[in-house]
A and B are shown apart, each in its own frame.
Chain A
């Protein structure tokens, strides 16, 4: 079966750095995507990786290792507005997104 695992909840301090891990087992791989979702709102696209390595976009970076079935999202200089759920999703061999359950990130002052 297809499976994506990410921690249910994480807590971090304002101004700090946090890393959210995602491991996956899917039938085929056509990219790994990270989305941010605030409560009651729609998901917002953050970053994606198709090849191994690090992609940096401002305060957000995403890393991929296809051989290990592993990715992480790194958030730097945390702000209170970063409190949200972070969803990891993989496109499988049919180009359909397989979603993780999401990681709820709580930022404390």
Chain B
């Protein structure tokens, strides 16, 4: 069982839809991450929040918009996505950004029609 909870587990949306992915952790971790993972590839970092502030944005297209409402929650707002955005979206958290391991949620499997 993971202590990082992601919802929904699966999402199918059209290219004109707006949807949000949610992530929650109650481990008191101060760093939270969004990753995108394609089949048989390692995770690709999208965004990092440290102490609720966006610290890293890996040149992600603006159709992906992150939000960190508080230290336990992380959202990823999706709008006008493309079929190539279909992937597993993973949220992770760690105690801090420096040496501590990241712990992943179960992910959201996203399919764009």
Contact = CB atoms under 8 A, between A and B. Distances in A.
Given A43-B90, A102-B42, A33 B101 contact: yes
A44 B43 CA distance: 12
Contacts, number: 44
The interface residues of chain B, by DSSP majority, are classed as loop
Contacts of A18: none
Contact of B99 (A35, A50, A89, A102): A50
A87 B104 CA distance: 13
Interface residues of A, number: 21
A46 B88 CA distance: 20
B66 interface: no
Interface in B33-48: 40-43, 45, 48
A35 B105 CA distance: 13
Interface string B88-113: 10100000011101111111000000
Interface of A: 30-31, 33, 35, 41-45, 48, 50, 87, 89, 91, 95-97, 99-102
